[in-house]
Amino acid sequence: MNWVTAVLIGVTVMGAGDRVPVILDTDLGDDIDDTWALAMMLGMPGIDLKLIVTASGDTEARTQLTARILQDMGRTDIDIGTGLKQGEREHNQVKYLEGYDYAKYPGRVYDDGIARMIEIIEASDEIITICVIGPQTNIQAALERSPGIAKKARIVSMAGSVHIGYNGIEKRMPEWNVFRDLEASKAVFAAPWEITIAPLDICGTLRMTGNHYKAIAESDNPLAAVTMDNYAIWKPRSKYPEDESSVLFDTVAVYLCVSDELCEMETINISLGDKGQTVPDENGRPVRCALKWKDEAAFKELLVNAMTR
């Protein structure tokens, strides 16, 4: 069995035949990598996706976008929950909603996504993985309502910059998902659950290029096709080459929900700085950090297979 097959079926974490129960918390509609991450998650049979909660800004609009994407991917069996609304700013994939009749969406949508998140965690006999690929606002709200969820869940997040910042620059930088709501990030880091992060160190330069990109761009699998349709209408699309993706930060967090075998992991005590820095500190809290790739090519093959197979 090769790396890709092993990770796709989740054997490196759960054992053959088991699936990891996951709640995805996402600011879908900002950076396009959330759409790639969702497609990847839906294509990984080792993940049992229980709920998608929309995060940051106009979460109601993000819920509609999530519904349209799930419907076009043929996955309206996945529940959606609307997170805390923080504004009215238009998201970057608004064109994808043109002509869409959200009122006819056949799946289940919960107006209070945080309440539904808590309900799923509290009712589960297994540890729930909360995959956070946006600012941590909803997770703070869930902790405030039900602090006990920290004993029944773990966090896997695209967050932080331990040694390396954006664009591979060898300098720690405040990372968006942390500093966008720093108080929420501090609350999540203070809670007594296991935290695993994919910081900029490992994901800040991750792009699909060459045959990897071509395989996805030319696939008729709805996971790939809908992702490409959204990439085409994404507002910043013109800033990137025609034959490659933008940086796919969030896909690494999806992978870490089921395995870390392709990554060099280190447990580091982390404190959050006043500008959102994730600073190694002997007095900080332990965080499992994916800092480097053992086999980045294998990860890209996994992503291709998840979206196209």
- Summarised one tens digit per residue, pLDDT across range 243-259 is 999 999 999 999 999 99
Q: Which domain holds residue 241?
A: 3-308
Provide the CATH number for the domain around residue 23. 3.90.245.10
Whether residue 5 is predicted with pLDDT greater than 50 in this model: the reply is no
pLDDT for 13 equals 42
Whether residue 32 is predicted with pLDDT greater than 60 in this model: the reply is yes
- Among 137, 37, 132, 131, smallest CA distance to 87 is for 137
Instruction: Tell me the pLDDT band of 9, cut-offs 50, 70 and 90.
Output: very low
Question: Rg of the chain over CA atoms, in angstroms?
Answer: 18
pLDDT for 18 equals 85
Q: What is the pTM of this model?
A: 0.95
What are 292's strand-pairing partners? 264
Q: Enter the DSSP assignment of 90.
A: P
Mean pLDDT of the region 220-241 = 98
Q: What is the mean pLDDT of the chain?
A: 95
Q: Which two tokens stand for residue 240?
A: 């990137």
In the chain, the number of structural domains is 1
Give per-residue pLDDT as tens, 110-159.
Answer: 999 999 999 999 999 999 999 999 999 999 999 999 999 999 999 999 99
DSSP string of 259-279?
Answer: --TTEEEEEEEEEE-TTS-EE
CA distance 120 to 132: 16
